Amino acid sequence: MSGRLFLLPAPLAAYSPEAWSPETLALHLPAKAIGLYASLDSFIVESERSALRLLSRFKDAQSLRSLKLRVLNEHSGESELPSLLEDLEQGMDCGFLSEAGMPCIADPGAALVAYAREKGVKIIPISGPSSILLGLVASGLDAQRFAFLGYLPQNGEERRAYIARMATAVLKDGMTRVCIETPYRNKALLKDLIALLPDSLWLCVASDLCGAEERVLSAPAAQWRRSGLPAIGKVPAIFLFGKRAGMRPPDSR
């Protein structure tokens, strides 16, 4: 009988000794996840460095020395998936940790889960912080329907064309769009969004969620253009654009 694969949340805040202290982590991560960090001996991780930083907060030195870590990241191939399940096939429970937040969203964990399901492995998701949902509920944008776009094209021309298409789509379908970016490209993406979104659409930038410098800025695109480009820095951020939320007529619910 195979072991169980636990999909575990990771901290959203960028690493610092203060932000990743056990006391601070316990404010943002559920007790069930923290208990599994401490009790599991086998993990599949997107980043070995981040995983060890997190697990060392909840494991003693002896447990860390015997810890089994296997890496699954953007450089991994489909052919590596079978070896990642070796402990599970021997009946050992295993945890999966992505770089930040909930796993399997815009990371290779989704492919791992698909493969594990084909092999009959029981998958157990553990609740935790999601930048997508935290940003959405704090934005003031319509959350009746939304679409997560993941990472936008890196090429500037392609990115701007994509933003223009998505903005036109929002005007037609009213569905809020959500996207993310690598922190060092935050400024370029924000600059394009401010330049290209129609005046009537709202833009929200939620940065350093669950961190010491958490900030959520949300306003019509026209107001962003008048205010200029804010300094959000090279921190984890999520970008949302759509129509302002409002009360729906009773007969439309």
Q: Write out pLDDT tens, residues 196-252.
A: 999 999 999 999 999 888 999 999 999 999 987 888 888 899 999 999 998 877 666
Tell me the CA distances in angstroms from 2 to 5, 121, 128, 190, one per residue in order: 9, 6, 25, 46
Q: What pLDDT is recorded for position 251? A: 65
Q: What pLDDT is recorded for position 74? A: 85
Q: What phi and psi, each to the nearest 5 degrees, are found at residue 137?
A: -70, -20
Q: 68 near 3, Cβ under 8 Å?
A: no
Q: What pLDDT is recorded for position 229? A: 80
Whole-structure pTM value? 0.88
Q: 162 near 193, Cβ under 8 Å?
A: no
Q: What pLDDT is recorded for position 235? A: 86
Residue with tokens 């997107």: 46
CB atoms within 10 A of CB 16: 11
- Give ∠ CA 100-103-108 in degrees, rounded to 5: 100
Is residue 93's pLDDT more than 60?
Answer: yes
Domains of the chain: 4-125 (3.40.1010.10), 131-242 (3.30.950.10)
- 36-90 pLDDT tens trace: 999 999 999 999 999 999 999 999 888 888 999 999 998 888 899 999 999 999 9
Q: What pLDDT is recorded for position 215? A: 93
Strands 122-125 and 4-8: parallel
- 127-149 pLDDT tens trace: 999 999 999 999 999 999 999 99
Q: What pLDDT is recorded for position 77? A: 87
Q: What pLDDT is recorded for position 133? A: 95
Tokens of 206: 């939620």
Tell me the CA distances in angstroms from 1 to 87, 92, 120, 122, 245, one per residue in order: 11, 9, 9, 10, 49
16/123: higher pLDDT: 123
Alpha-carbon radius of gyration of the chain:
20
